[in-house]
Amino acid sequence: MSNPVATVRSLVLSLVLPLASVPSPARADVTTYPAPPGEAITGDYAVTVNGKPVDVYAAQSQYFEGDYSFASFDFSGKAAVRVTSALPLDNVQIQPARFGVRLERNGPKEITLVADAPFRISVERNGRIKPLLLFGNAIETGAPKPGDPNVVYFPAGVHRPGKISLTDNQTLYLAGGAVVKGCVVAKGKNITIRGRGILAGEESPRFKGPGRYPLDCRDCQDLSVRDIIIRNPWSWTFVTWNCERVAIDNVKICGSRMINDDALDLVNTQHATVRNCFFRTQDDCIAIKGLAKMTRPCEDILIEDCVFWTDVANIFRIGYECETEGMRNIRARNIDVLHYSKNVKLPTQYWANAIIWLQPNQNMMMEDCHFDGLRIHSSGQDTIVLMAKPMRCTYGPFKKPEPGMLRNCSFKNIQVTGEPGDFRGLLYMLGDSEKHNVSGLSFERITYFGKPIVRDSPCVQVGPFVSEITFRK
């Protein structure tokens, strides 16, 4: 005869245990930062996250009908971002897709974007014309406080400090809601620049800011820059000169105000990592250079998990200025190219534009550059995907320079998607002479609109003084 107490106990456990095993919904935590008076814009987009308003800022551009918008907030758990547009969102696209942000349509001018993890995306209702850039950051931890030792602190509000100088063991903190209209000059060891605020350059004419660049880091060791937004630079945006052990994480650059606004110039820099960044510029997104007769080679550089957009120049331009003994071990992986140059030029033109341009000069050896996991979005316009071409690059005092040499580089898992249109996507390789040649380039799993690119594809052009080129599907 069965035990009635045991039967009841079994029934209770069968009901309770499954309920206990179901995880409770993750708690949503959202932090927003109100813009200072006069900084928020209204009219084009309105944004809320989990019901909280998020102020929208403007960035300047000379192209695609001018100014565009951006907004930023912090969250954990699930974020429901409601975007209301002054114009219809019938054809809206969310780029890039890899963040897994889900789109829900609420009406002709309103959408909701649902995210479970940090993201950096472009909301595009009409392609490149007046997008909304959205930056959903992880919740900030370990933020310094005003008055902490060795901390230069800017609270919420508009500030015009001119030039901010940093040295050994100092931290510059731009709090959320701070708009700092000036520049930073860092020189020394163990310097940190961080925060949720904005470093802004729109009050300075081209090449006439309070310093050379908005963020100018020279002779630094153990430099960390993370989480800030840089807007409307007056020249190159963020430059590391003769630096080693550099960590750049979650930096957003909203440029395209003027030419020469390179997002990040790594100049004679070693042991650098660049992660989780979003750069929109008119000029080059990543430029690796050797300048001013510094001896430090450009080496051991990793760029990963980033989103890049250039309006008229190159995504990667490596080697244009080469006053250094070598460039080597440069890696880029898991990169989304949202938009490339609007200008289509022949590869024989001096100022051609490409997704990847490797152009060693000054008799320098460039070697071991590796690109893995690039996703290029095509709007139907052509561009050059690769320029591998030692060049005689004239600049500064160098009127008759020697080309360099290029060795042992690889290109893997490069996908072009979007609209085929007129896209050709040259892979262009050309040496200069027997000495200044190109050798040892390998291509693996390169696809344009789902079609594998092989050695005899029409987009592959191999000129003289090029050897050991291999393709694998």
Instruction: Specify the pairing of strand 198-200 against strand 229-231.
Output: parallel
CA nearest to 431, candidates 358, 354, 351: 358
Q: Is 315 left (phi over 0), alpha (psi -120 to 50) or beta?
A: alpha
pLDDT of residue 27: 60
Site of tokens 């081209």: 206
Q: Phi/psi at 153 (nearest 5 deg)?
A: -115, 130
Structure tokens at 369: 């550059």
Look up residue 125 and give its amino acid. Answer: R
Q: Tell me the two tokens of residue 183.
A: 């520049």
Query: Residue 15: what pLDDT?
Result: 34
Structure confidence at residue 324 (pLDDT): 87
Give the pLDDT score at 418. 97
Tokens of 320: 């244009």
For each of the chain's 473 residues, which pLDDT tens digit applies? 344 334 333 333 333 333 333 333 346 799 999 999 999 998 999 999 999 999 999 999 999 999 999 999 999 999 999 999 999 999 999 999 999 999 999 999 999 999 999 999 999 999 999 999 999 999 999 999 999 999 999 999 999 999 999 999 999 999 999 999 999 999 999 999 999 999 999 999 999 999 999 999 999 999 999 999 999 999 999 999 999 999 999 999 999 999 999 999 999 999 999 999 999 999 999 999 998 677 789 999 999 999 999 999 999 999 998 888 899 999 999 999 999 999 999 999 999 999 999 999 989 999 999 999 999 999 999 999 999 999 988 877 777 789 999 999 999 999 999 999 999 999 999 999 999 999 999 999 999 999 999 999 999 999 999 999 999 98
Q: What is the pLDDT of residue 25?
A: 37
Neighbouring C-beta atoms of residue 185, cutoff 10 Å: 17
Please, what CATH class does the domain formed by 29-137 belong to? mainly beta
Q: What is the pLDDT at residue 292? A: 65
CB of 215 closer than 8 Å to CB of 238: yes
Alpha carbons 414 and 441: distance in angstroms, whole number? 14
Reading phi first (left if > 0) and then psi (alpha if -120 to 50, else beta), residue 62 is in alpha
Structural domain spans, the chain:
29-137, 236-472
Q: How far is 432 from 359, CA to CA, in rounded Å?
A: 11
* Per-residue model confidence (pLDDT) at position 14: 37
The tokens for 95 are 């780029």
Give dist(CA 391, CA 429) in Å, integer: 12
Q: How far is CA 246 from CA 105, 157, 221, 227, 268, in A?
A: 42, 29, 7, 15, 12
Fold of 236-472: Pectate Lyase C-like (2.160.20)
Tally of residues, the chain: 473
* Residue 97 DSSP SS3: helix
Q: Which residues, in sequence order, are bridge partners of residue 458? A: none
Whether pTM > 0.75 for this model: the answer is yes
